[in-house]
Structure 1
Amino acid sequence: MEPLVKHVALVSESRQVGTGEVMMVAAALQKQASRDLSGIWQIGATVDAFEHLEDVPVDYWPMIIRDDIGYSAAGIHLDQSGQPFALISADPDRDVWSLTSSHEMCEMLVDPFGNRVIAGDSIKADQGRVTYLVEVCDPSEASNYAYSVNGVLVSDFYTPNFFDPVAAPGVRYSYTGAIKTPRSILPGGYISWHDLETDIWWQQTWFGGSQPQFRSLGKLTGGRSIRSQIDRITSEDTAMAVSAGRATSEFGGMAAPSARSTLAARAQSLHSQINELIAAA
């Protein structure tokens, strides 16, 4: 059976991000969703750019870029109908907000409502079986592990094998291969889980220092999705993790100016050919 297709809209309400840039990033996100994410997570998706929020069809999940989003408001939320939407902080560096947009898109498509969990042995030695929150970009969310699609920087994401009980040769744990073993995080990343015996949520984070750290989040109450509650706690650290953009990316490919010059050269060639066809008509 073909997966049910989900529709995502990318909209800018920012003075820093114009419609042209939104269209370029939306095209890259569409390619990432259909080429990279779809086969691994068995999802179908479209990603389209819209000039105004009022233009977005009602069955699309909006991702809205704004200038006035505080750390606590960034991330994926549920609207009054229980449908997901994302708020993304604008940035003068396209690679920063495109990376954030990719992060939110991947997580929205894999877990639209922010409560999906997978059981496994805890990575904390004094705990037993726990349930891990499925946030596919968090463990390798830093710009160091981002990659490029159409010259646009997008987020790495883990595969379902990320939750395997043991590591095995030749297994892909994240799209770029940056994650080498199950349930492991990289600098700038984190993972969240629920200890059912104590009803406490925990994280392993790597937001500084030479080693990751454990921290207790306490009990998370209802009213909002688990993901949105965790995002409020980690959003400032996430913003720092992506703030370097392409400069620190191991897999970032060519820089934006180089990609732009390639596009300009192709456009010039097409214009020349079009002019020749018109002249010969």
Structure 2
Amino acid sequence: MIISVINTTQLKKEEVQKKLRAINRQLAEDFKRYWHRDIELRLEGWTGKTPDPKKPINMRGDAVLYLWDQVDVDDAIGYHDLTGVGVPFGFVFTELAAELGEDWSVTLSHEVLEMAMDPEANLLAEGPHPDPKEDGRTVFHWYELCDAVQGSKYEIDGVEVANFLLPLYFTEGDEHRNHNDFLGTGLGSFQVGPGGYAGFLDPETGEHDTWIRPRDNKATHRLVVKQQHKGVMRADRHKGRERDAAIVDKNTVHCEAVIFELDDTVALPERLHTAQQLARTVLGDGWELQRSPGDPNEYDALYRGSTAIGFAQAWQLAHELAEDDAVVYAEPSLSFPVAGEFEQAHDGPARALRASSRGSSSHKAGTEIPAWGLELCRVPKAWQRIEAEHKRPGAGVRVGHPDSGYRPHDEMDATRVMTQIDFDFLGGDSETISNKGNHGLATASVIMSGTGGVDDRIKGPALHAEIVPLRVTKPGWIRPAPVLIGGGMRRLRDAIDHAVKVHC
């Protein structure tokens, strides 16, 4: 797991890198030997002004942590949580760390360790209530590795890092000499050390809560400071959070249909009636049934309701549908926007879409030549072998291209872009050329860009292949955006059927 770190503060890069290096040593040499997970921090660039948890546009790894000065980010959901599309993210506020009397490296180490173990912030461990007055009744502890021992820390290469819990802390059997944390402070299972606290879900109240040791002034001060800032405490985030708000946003994942196939044993005259009855009884109101164009046994239940259906609910409906003996399989068709596209139209000539390959911006070592990717994959050598047989690379190949549509460009050979047989599965027509087709243009260029001219800046490996644009994705900000999910399974399926019909 790679966690991208985005520095939006005035901290010098050298200082940030020094502390990331120390925490990476902690992850590799201390954390991994107990928890058996490979985690690495990587400092990334910063391309925005305000982080939006639903749009982690700077992320290059599997999760993202922002270094931020003041706790003034609108609707920032505390330290670590999930974006609207399930990407783990978090904030480390340097001024809050100073207010709590600790170096921000300790806070960063704390959040990294907890994100590494519970990136979705949803794991719980059954154990006794931390308050002895509760006589050990069962609660469900947050799977947080540092909260109970956050009053202790240690140094690596002169950088302070957080102490952390070991696996047997989350069991009721005591480890030998209570060695339940890295520093071996003698903490018992499910107990709380000085300066720390325990967070848990109380099954009797149905609420998330926290507990600190009596008369622990340091822990009390920490909780008071955190509670002054909206959303910093995990308990606050669980209480009253409107999780469904994310799926209502048109830029996040939602269910557009449920696809299901009936068993061959269902008689042909009865199939439509059976499908309609299943959709009505299992899925309920707000669904429109259509027969799949490519399979007489397959049906699409299109969702027409006004309230968005999210990822988990969509799969639950599909599982319920699949439980019927007449159903071979069922799965939701999920949709969210494709990367790098925008709702508003782009101004300027189409040439600007490829400006980054022509401009004077700095290059990473080895990428100064536009064709560096082809060189790395040894494509020119493949071309030589093909041309030695008096053939042209890609000639005779027709590629079906499901993406965000297409936008003309002077380095794309228009005679090989088969717009006469393309199709827009969003608009339901044969017009895939769109001012929102930037992503489709970019990926098409990776496949077959180039007119054969000596001035071509970008060339695709299949220089003489034909390509059929098939628009299946919506514009938006989400990154990354796999077409398999971003385009919706149903549209992708129909695009593949169409590609076959036009001899791709």
Same fold (TM over 0.5): yes
Aligned to 2:209: 202
State the aligned residue count: 213
SS at match of 1:49: strand
- The equivalent residue for 2:39 is 45
Unaligned runs of 5+ in 1: 1-5, 225-281
Residues 207 and 108 of structure 1, relative CA distance in 2, 3 Å threshold: farther
1:164 aligns with 2:171: yes
How many angstroms apart in 1 are the aligned matches of 2:178 and 2:194?
21
Q: CA deviation at 1:59?
A: 3.4
Distance across 2 between alignment mates of 1:32 and 1:62: 18
Could you list the per-position Cα deviations for residues 50-91 of structure 1 after superposition, in whole angstroms to 9, with x for gaps in the alignment? 242579554332211112224984411322321111111125
Distance change >3 Å, CA 89–CA 212, structure 1 → 2: closer
The corresponding residue for 1:8 is 3
Counterpart of 1:61 in structure 2 is 63
| 2:32 alignment partner, SS class | helix
1:220 match: 239
SS at the partner of 2:105? helix
Decide whether the 8 Å contact of 2:201 with 2:207 is kept in 1: yes
Counterpart position of 1:134 = 143
- Structure 1 residue identity aligned to 2:21: A
Q: Which amino acid letter does the alignment assign opposite residue 32 of structure 2? A: S
- Distance in 2, matches of 1:10 and 1:58, equals 9
CA contact (8 A) 1:69 1:87 kept: no
Partner of 1:77: 81
Q: Could you tell me how far apart the structure 1 residues matched to 2:47 and 2:179 are? A: 38
Cα separation, partners in 2 of 1:200 and 1:151, compared to 1, 3 Å: same
Counterpart for residue 252 of structure 1: none
SS of the counterpart of 1:20? helix
For residues 158 and 30 of structure 1, the distance between their equivalents in structure 2, rounded to whole angstroms, comes to 17
How far off is 1:121 after superposition? 2.6
Given candidates 12, 15, 23, the residue that maps to 1:21 is 15
* Contact map agreement 1:95 1:152 (CA 8 A) in 2: no
User: For residues 53 and 100 of structure 1, do their structure 2 counterparts lie closer, same or farther at Cα, with a shift above 3 Å needed?
Assistant: farther
Contact 1:127-1:195 within 8 A present in 2 as well = no
AA matched with 1:83: V
Amino acid aligned to 2:9: S
How far is the alpha carbon of 1:164 from its aligned partner? Answer: 2.7
Contact 1:161–1:171 (Cα < 8 Å) also in 2: no
Residue 263 (structure 2) aligns with: none
List gaps (5 residues or longer) in structure 2.
49-56, 221-234, 244-504
> CA-atom RMSD, angstroms?
3.1
The TM-score, its normalising length taken from structure 2, stands at 0.38
Structure-2 separation of matches of 1:207 and 1:187? 10
CA shift for structure 1 position 128? 2.4
CA deviations on 1:101-122 (whole Å, 9 max, x unpaired) are 0001000000001110011232
The aligned amino acid for 2:142 is L
Q: Report the TM-score, using the length of structure 1 for normalisation.
A: 0.66
CA shift in 2, pair 1:115/1:53, >3 Å: farther
Change (3 A) 1:199 1:208: same
Instruction: Give the aligned partner of residue 90 of structure 1.
Output: 94
Q: Distance in 2 between matches of 1:154 and 1:89?
A: 16
- 1:147 aligned to 147, 154, 162, which one? 154
In structure 1, distance between residues paired with 2:90 and 2:201: 24
| Counterpart contact for 2:197–2:212, Cα < 8 Å | yes
Letter of the 2:28 counterpart: S
Q: Does the CA contact (< 8 Å) of 1:179 and 1:185 recur in 2? A: no
Give the counterpart letter for 2:141 in structure 1: Y
Opposite residue 94 of structure 2, the aligned amino acid is A
**Which entry has the higher C-alpha Rg, 1 or 2?**
2
Question: Cα deviations across residues 248-274 of structure 1 (Å, max 9, x unaligned)?
Answer: xxxxxxxxxxxxxxxxxxxxxxxxxxx
Give the SS at the match of 1:132: strand
> 2:28 aligned with 1:34, yes or no?
yes
Measured at CA, do residues 107 and 207 of structure 1 come closer, stay the same or move farther in structure 2, by a change above 3 Å?
farther
Please report how far the alpha carbon of residue 131 of structure 1 lies from its aligned counterpart in structure 2 after TM superposition. 1.2
Q: Residues 99 and 155 of structure 1 are in contact (CA less than 8 Å); yes or no, is this contact kept in structure 2?
A: yes
> Higher helix proportion, which one?
1
Residue 193 of structure 1 deviates from its aligned partner by 1.5
